[in-house]
């Protein structure tokens, strides 16, 4: 069978580039789980009438939206941090750099953090307020002699708009499995002489970083400082204007009641996760942060009977299946749904199907019509 179009949640090790089409009945997806687009501004292949000297507004209908498969948001640390650009904010010397090293080590090794599952990948840490000797002492105290080749460091970089993006581009090009880049601190990469207190300037800084993280499907975690003035809302204490938080995908605020205390509160807010409040304790012997309790329990979506039935079917029938929506529905009789609605629901639920059941969903159009393919990535299999 000749396949003309294909939409997939693929194996994370695959790397490919491509542009989404929003044409009717097209279900394309970038062939890389880490790849993310700015889905609020995806270009359409439709040609709209253009008035003299002006670009037309590109739109998408609700029907086209339902017929399109969008890239899933894959967590870096499940329930805590995702692809995108985040701020990590705290007062000086509160323990931010220790946490950055701890997070980077866990991601580079694929080790769960406080019980949260972690997606393994290469990490770059721009420790711009440190030197290599200090980093060596800190890391050896935290992790002993258990090192990794997937955790990279730099103590100098160029400023934004003066070559930093090109430096980061070179790194992710050389390290295809990059998952996390830490910039410590934002002030070190601000362009010299920039307006520090302009909303527009702050918004533009984070927007440029977000554009990079979205284009490459990675997380950019930017360390920043709190302002001295207290506020009842912790997120109002971010130094600078609201433009920083407004452009970011989320923020972490680390605070201590007293600087000499070992305990800290980490508040988390973002677009792709629930607001959380975590109580941490700093283990001074090995210099790592330990979780005491999560004051906000993560809410979990109720089980989806359709996805549960698909997972059970694939478990019994084998690691992979390919056919039409009608054929699949005939094999799962408890699913009382029309084929067209079933396909659309699969498009929308693709992320849950992969994250909860590790089942990869693909959609393709051939000479005999549209077919779907399901692959259980927890099972060893041959290529379909």
**What gap in Å lies between CA 225 and CA 92, rounded to an integer?**
7
pLDDT at residue 209, as a whole number: 92
Q: Which of 22-31, 241-250, 305-314 has the lowest mean pLDDT?
A: 22-31
pLDDT digits (tens, 9 = 90+) for 129-181: 999 999 999 999 999 999 999 999 999 999 988 899 999 999 999 999 999 99
Percent of all residues in the chain with a pLDDT value above 70, rounded to a whole number: 76
Rounded Cα distance between 142 and 145, Å, is 9
The pLDDT of residue 54? 59
**Position 5 confidence tier, pLDDT thresholds 50, 70, 90:** very low
pLDDT of the residue at 92 = 84
Neighbours of 373 (CB within 10 A): 18
**pLDDT the model gives residue 23:** 36
Contact 272, 121 (CB under 8 A): no
What is the predicted pLDDT for the residue at 204? Answer: 84
- Provide the pLDDT confidence category of residue 234 given band limits of 50, 70 and 90: low
Who has greater pLDDT, 49 or 25?
A: 49
pLDDT digits (tens, 9 = 90+) for 267-325: 998 887 778 899 999 999 999 999 999 876 666 778 899 999 999 999 888 889 999 99
Residue, of 346 and 14, whose pLDDT is higher: 346
Q: Looking at the predicted structure, is the pLDDT value of residue 52 above 90?
A: no
Asked whether residue 20 carries a pLDDT value surpassing 70, the answer given is no
Gyration radius of the chain's alpha carbons: 23
Mean pLDDT along residues 209-221:
93
What is residue 76's predicted lDDT score, i.e. its pLDDT?
93
Kindly list the structural domains of the chain, giving each domain's residue range(s) and its CATH number in brackets, ordered by start.
Answer: 5-71+303-376 (no CATH), 80-294 (3.40.50.300)
pLDDT on residue 47: 45
Helix (H, G, I), strand (E, B) or coil at 238: strand
- Among 199-213, 227-241, 298-312, name the one with the lowest average pLDDT: 227-241
The pLDDT of residue 192 is 60
Nearest Cα to 365, choosing from 67, 1, 5, 20?
5
Buried b (16+ CB within 10 A) or exposed e, 123-139: bbbbbbebeeeebeebb
Strand order of the β-sheet with 84-90 is 151-154, 122-127, 178-184, 219-225, 84-90, 250-255, 263-270, 276-283, 288-294
């Amino acid at each position: 069978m000749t396949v003309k179009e294909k939409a997939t949640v693929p194996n994370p090790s695959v790397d490919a580039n491509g542009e989404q089409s929003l044409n009717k009945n097209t279900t394309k997806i970038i062939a890389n789980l880490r790849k993310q687009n700015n889905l609020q501004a995806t270009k359409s292949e439709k040609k709209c009438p253009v008035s003299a000297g002006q670009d037309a507004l590109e739109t998408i209908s609700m029907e086209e939206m339902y017929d399109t498969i969008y890239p899933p948001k894959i967590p870096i640390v499940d329930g805590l941090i995702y692809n995108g650009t985040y701020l990590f904010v705290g007062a000086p010397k509160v323990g931010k750099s220790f946490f950055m090293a701890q997070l980077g080590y866990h991601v580079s090794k694929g080790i769960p953090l406080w019980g949260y599952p972690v997606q393994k990948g290469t990490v770059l840490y721009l420790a711009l307020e440190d030197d290599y000797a200090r980093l060596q002492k800190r890391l050896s105290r935290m992790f002993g002699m258990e090192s990794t080749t997937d955790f990279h460091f730099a103590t100098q970089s160029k400023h934004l708009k003066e070559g930093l993006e090109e430096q980061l581009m070179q790194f992710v090009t050389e390290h295809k499995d990059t998952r996390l880049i830490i910039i410590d601190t934002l002030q070190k990469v601000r362009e010299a002489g920039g307006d520090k207190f302009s909303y527009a300037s702050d918004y533009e800084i984070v927007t440029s970083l977000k554009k990079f993280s979205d284009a490459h499907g990675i997380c950019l975690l930017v360390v920043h400082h709190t302002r001295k003035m207290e506020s009842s809302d912790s997120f109002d204490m971010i130094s600078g204007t609201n433009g920083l938080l407004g452009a970011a995908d989320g923020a972490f605020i680390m605070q201590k009641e007293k600087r000499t205390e070992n305990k800290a509160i980490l508040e988390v807010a973002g677009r792709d996760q629930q607001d959380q409040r975590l109580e941490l304790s700093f283990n001074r012997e090995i210099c790592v942060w330990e979780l005491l309790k999560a004051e906000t329990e993560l809410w979990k979506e109720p089980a989806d009977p359709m996805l549960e039935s698909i997972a059970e079917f694939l478990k019994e029938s084998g690691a992979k299946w390919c056919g039409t929506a009608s054929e699949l529905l005939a094999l799962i009789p408890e699913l009382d749904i029309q084929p067209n609605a079933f396909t659309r629901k699969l498009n929308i639920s693709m992320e849950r199907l992969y994250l909860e059941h590790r089942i990869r969903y693909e959609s393709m159009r051939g000479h005999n019509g549209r077919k779907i393919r399901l692959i259980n990535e927890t099972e060893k299999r041959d290529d379909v």
